[in-house]
Amino acid sequence: MNSLLGEVKITLRRDDLSGRPRINKEGSVLDREQKEKGKYYYA
């Protein structure tokens, strides 16, 4: 999953309230932090 998201340059996070996956906006703080760590999906 991580390599696929890396190729399409999308980062995901899990919503705190609903638990559903959400796509981070490109260039957002979370997007940049996750890309720096190489973790494109944050649970």
Give 25-40 pLDDT, tens digit per residue.
999 999 999 999 999 9
Residue 18 is which amino acid? S
| Residue 42 pLDDT level (bands cut at 50, 70, 90) | confident
Domains of the chain, by residue range, sit at: 2-42
Residue 34 is which amino acid? Q
Residue 26 is which amino acid? E
What distance in Å separates the CA atoms of residue 14 and residue 42, rounded to the nearest whole number? 6
> CA quadruple 29, 34, 35, 41: dihedral positive or negative?
negative
Q: Is 40 exposed, middle or buried (0-12, 13-18, 19+ CB in 10 A)?
A: buried
pLDDT tens for each residue of 2-24:
999 999 999 999 999 999 999 99
What distance in Å separates the CA atoms of residue 18 and residue 26, rounded to the nearest whole number? 22
